[in-house]
């Protein structure tokens, strides 16, 4: 048993994954983390980086003009409505991030609570909840999101109204995922001897649920969280693209921009669609890579390990003498 303990931050999800990754998996993880960090940074620094506001159509030198090609004044050109593409793409990260945070938070809280109760209590309550979750699964997620966004905001709205309605509609789609994962864990853990031990002690249900089950059921959450975040961006973009997103004057939103640039593509105006499109692809790619590589790393069967050090193996074979570090580990892991 080693006396030197690893620092607390080394146990955080992404950090611990980075520390034990190797080779291609490490590359994937690093790319994913970098892209995601870039997204967060851009969103945080948007007022500093972006040359204009998201709804600005004119500067000190007069109107921007519509569908202008990239130039020194507008590095990525302007849109058909006369917005600066660069600025809208940068401001768009804020909307995307806001939706992700709101959607993921809401769905985690609701999904985890429902899953825990459903898995632990079981019986008819469990059946009903599972049936609801399955029913929601059966709907195409975008369709559901459209319906929800109409219900919540009547289709179009202000920045926060839009973000919240997009987030809530995404929440409806995500809750079943968290629900299912936590429920499955709760059902599994319910039969574990340490939960039975708590029952024998006479622990009340709430204590069993939160101290014993929930604390052991959250292992896979960071993973679903990252994968869901990327899906949230896609759903938001999809909502914007079909016209149920956020007003262009209320906030910048990539899906809306893509929608408006459809006509441009045929007339050779590439900049209005490429940049928001690339922004979507990179954000989704970043989070997916992060989630996927964490998935692989958390599964011992998929995790690649460093190659055997031939020298060490040979040394152990040669003398057949006790190798102290090896012994220490043996004792510690038992």
Binding-site ranges for another protein (CB under 8 A): 1, 20, 192-194, 196-204, 207, 211-212, 215-216, 305-310, 312-314, 316-317, 319-323, 325-327, 329-330, 332-334
- Shortest gap between Cβ of 4 and another protein (angstroms)? 12
With respect to another protein, which residue has the nearer C-beta, 29 or 258?
Answer: 29
With respect to another protein, which residue has the nearer C-beta, 138 or 317?
Answer: 317
Instruction: Quote the CA–CA distance of 61 and 28 in Å, as a whole number.
Output: 45
Instruction: Quote the CA–CA distance of 144 and 155 in Å, as a whole number.
Output: 13
Instruction: Quote the CA–CA distance of 231 and 278 in Å, as a whole number.
Output: 16
Instruction: Quote the CA–CA distance of 295 and 334 in Å, as a whole number.
Output: 26
Check: CB of residue 179 under 8 Å from CB of residue 114: yes
Check: CB of residue 245 under 8 Å from CB of residue 167: no
62 DSSP 8-state letter:
E
Instruction: Quote the CA–CA distance of 98 and 164 in Å, as a whole number.
Output: 9
With respect to another protein, which residue has the nearer C-beta, 5 or 60?
Answer: 5
For residue 304, the SS3 value is: coil
- Shortest gap between Cβ of 310 and another protein (angstroms)? 7
- Shortest gap between Cβ of 191 and another protein (angstroms)? 10
> Which of 226, 227, 131, 124 is CA-nearest to residue 180?
131
What phi, psi does 84 have (nearest 5°)?
-80, 120
- Shortest gap between Cβ of 117 and another protein (angstroms)? 18
With respect to another protein, which residue has the nearer C-beta, 268 or 301?
Answer: 301
With respect to another protein, which residue has the nearer C-beta, 137 or 219?
Answer: 219
With respect to another protein, which residue has the nearer C-beta, 20 or 139?
Answer: 20
- Shortest gap between Cβ of 15 and another protein (angstroms)? 14
What phi, psi does 283 have (nearest 5°)?
-65, -45
With respect to another protein, which residue has the nearer C-beta, 266 or 333?
Answer: 333
- Shortest gap between Cβ of 216 and another protein (angstroms)? 6
- Shortest gap between Cβ of 249 and another protein (angstroms)? 49
Instruction: Identify the bridge partners of residue 78 per DSSP, sorted by sequence position.
Output: 84
For residue 156, the SS3 value is: coil
């Amino acid at each position: 048993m080693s006396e030197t303990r690893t620092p607390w931050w080394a146990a955080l999800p992404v950090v611990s994954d980075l520390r034990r990754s190797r080779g291609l998996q490490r590359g994937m993880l690093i790319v994913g983390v970098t892209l995601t960090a870039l997204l967060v940074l851009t969103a945080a620094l948007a007022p500093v980086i972006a040359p204009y506001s998201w709804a600005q159509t004119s500067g000190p030198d007069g109107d921007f003009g519509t569908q202008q090609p990239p130039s020194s004044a507008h590095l990525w050109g302007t849109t058909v409505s006369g917005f600066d593409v660069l600025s809208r793409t940068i401001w768009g990260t804020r909307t995307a991030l806001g939706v992700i945070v709101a959607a993921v938070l809401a769905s985690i809280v609701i999904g985890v609570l429902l899953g825990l109760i459903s898995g632990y209590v079981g019986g008819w309550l469990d059946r009903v909840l599972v049936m609801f979750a399955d029913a929601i699964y059966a709907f195409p997620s975008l369709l559901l999101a459209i319906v929800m966004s109409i219900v919540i905001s009547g289709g179009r709205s202000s920045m926060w109204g839009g973000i919240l309605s997009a987030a809530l509609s995404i929440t409806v789609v995500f809750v079943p995922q968290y629900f299912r994962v936590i429920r499955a864990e709760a059902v599994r853990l319910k039969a574990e001897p340490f939960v039975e031990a708590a029952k024998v002690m006479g622990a009340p249900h709430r204590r069993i649920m939160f101290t014993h089950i929930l604390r052991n059921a959250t292992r896979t959450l960071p993973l679903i969280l990252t994968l869901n975040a990327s899906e949230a961006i896609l759903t938001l973009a999809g909502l914007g693209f079909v016209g149920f997103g956020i007003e262009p004057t209320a906030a910048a939103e990539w899906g809306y921009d893509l929608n408006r640039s459809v006509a441009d593509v045929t007339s050779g105006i590439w900049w209005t669609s490429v940049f928001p499109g690339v922004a979507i692809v990179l954000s989704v790619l970043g989070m997916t890579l992060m989630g996927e590589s964490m998935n692989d790393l958390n599964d011992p069967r998929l995790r690649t390990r460093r190659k055997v050090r031939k020298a060490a193996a040979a040394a152990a074979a040669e003398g057949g003498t006790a190798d102290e570090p090896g012994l220490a580990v043996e004792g510690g892991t038992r």
